[in-house]
Chains A and B, each alone.
Chain A
């Protein structure tokens, strides 16, 4: 697991599921269907990512699948950084 994936998982666990450990969260777990990240959580998440990874996120770029799994989030960050 790369550092950024660990960071993303760390944030999700700390913010939304404090009763589990980072290792337990699989990269392909469906965070939306699982209700881990709701619309309010998403706002917090976007703000944190912009800050943490020094990227700018245009909300119109956010498709429903961008935040579905840790893997998707990592890809989104990579793309945003390459494009920005």
Chain B
């Protein structure tokens, strides 16, 4: 199978069937012909042809047909573009755009243009930039960078991930073949526009002549809206994080809504609870069910199809599945999964970040996923947790994440942080800080009893502190384990 360029193939679809629907947004269909015309207008309005061809542009855009047209215009004009999350603070965005060395910041025409203008001012004011442009700005052509996505980055500035055109082309062809995306196929897009998931939902579909049903980001948790959209628009392919499926299950329980048109149900991004998995055949009677494993750096690398769900076979541990065609994998001695995919980036834009995440083994450059996997008796791999969360306690490797999950399962626990504290005599000891419900009588004894059936002895925290105060949080709202560690180490000494 030869790979075809996304932009060229989109144009073929426009010529083939200009009246076929390309997008459905807010109840309105946009045809391939109309979308091509919008892209043409965007290119002229922003004078893309007049921008330096060897520098990327920044795009600040929320999901809309106009935003998709703007991206199409960049693809057609061969301009690499940095597409960060719309949710980021203006200063963070300015730093990212400066690091990428963008020539300008664009927003689709409409009310958001003002924000692009103020961002341009921030990027252009050198004194506001403490991150100098990267040492290797990508250029169109030779390196062939198109999409530049960002990682979610739990700490510090998100990392910029430039994707090469040939990787995107290979991925969008794989996805089309795997899920039968062709003229007439209706594909839902749940993820925000800057997510790598859109390479399947939006870009594979537009390349291969299907129709994308765009879910409004502002209504992404409104279950009646989601249910109505997927049912009424006749969605055939659905890819989403487990949360969407939980929302649809809620609607189903109230209204009995089912989704007979859906042929492929893909879960990704997070662990799908067994209770949700078990419900899928009820909601999607005519579908096949998959879990896909991937990340922004490599795109999708493994896929597992759930074959026994209809017969009530719900796996307790979801295997990450089979490697996709062309994917090479290696499991390190400590269990960390390394992957190389035909779709992957050559490295972060900021080259100094690469040695930590990319590694060469026998002449193959792998991406270190940071995920710990275990090989089951049948040879399949299952995820055990993040490498970052593994600590050695009395000579045994323990995942603090696993301990947190066990504690979190107690119904009176609001939130929990588990960290390993250095101890002069014992090496490392596990400490758990727990916030319980205000009226709960939970104490460390009851919590230990709860954990005894769930955790190995080595996983049991040495110290459990229970209170009702909120735990310290990071800027992204996650429990701040570093702050907890610092506090515990301070009070201990």
Contact = CB atoms under 8 A, between A and B. Distances in A.
- The size class of the interface chain A forms with chain B is 10 to 19
A38 B426 contact: yes
B445 A17 contact: yes
Contacts of A34: 445, 448-449, 451-452, 460
A63 interface: no
A46 to B, nearest CB: 13
B445 A40 contact: no
A40 B462 contact: yes
Nearest to B457: A33
What secondary structure prevails in chain A residues at the interface with B? loop
Interface in B407-465: 423, 425-426, 429, 443-445, 448-449, 451-452, 455, 457, 460-462, 464-465
B445 A20 contact: yes
A84 to B, nearest CB: 27
A54 B448 CA distance: 31
A38 B423 CA distance: 13
B394 A39 contact: yes
Contact of B457 (A17, A19, A35): A35
Given A20-B444, A24-B445, A35 B425 contact: no
B107 to A, nearest CB: 54
A43 interface: yes
A80 interface: no
Contacts of B488: none
Contacts of B464: 17
Contact of B443 (A24, A36, A41, A43): A24
Nearest to B393: A38
A24 B443 CA distance: 10
A40 B425 contact: yes
B451 A20 contact: no
Nearest to B430: A35
The list of the 5 closest CB pairs from A to B, nearest first, reads A35-B460, A40-B426, A34-B448, A20-B443, A20-B445
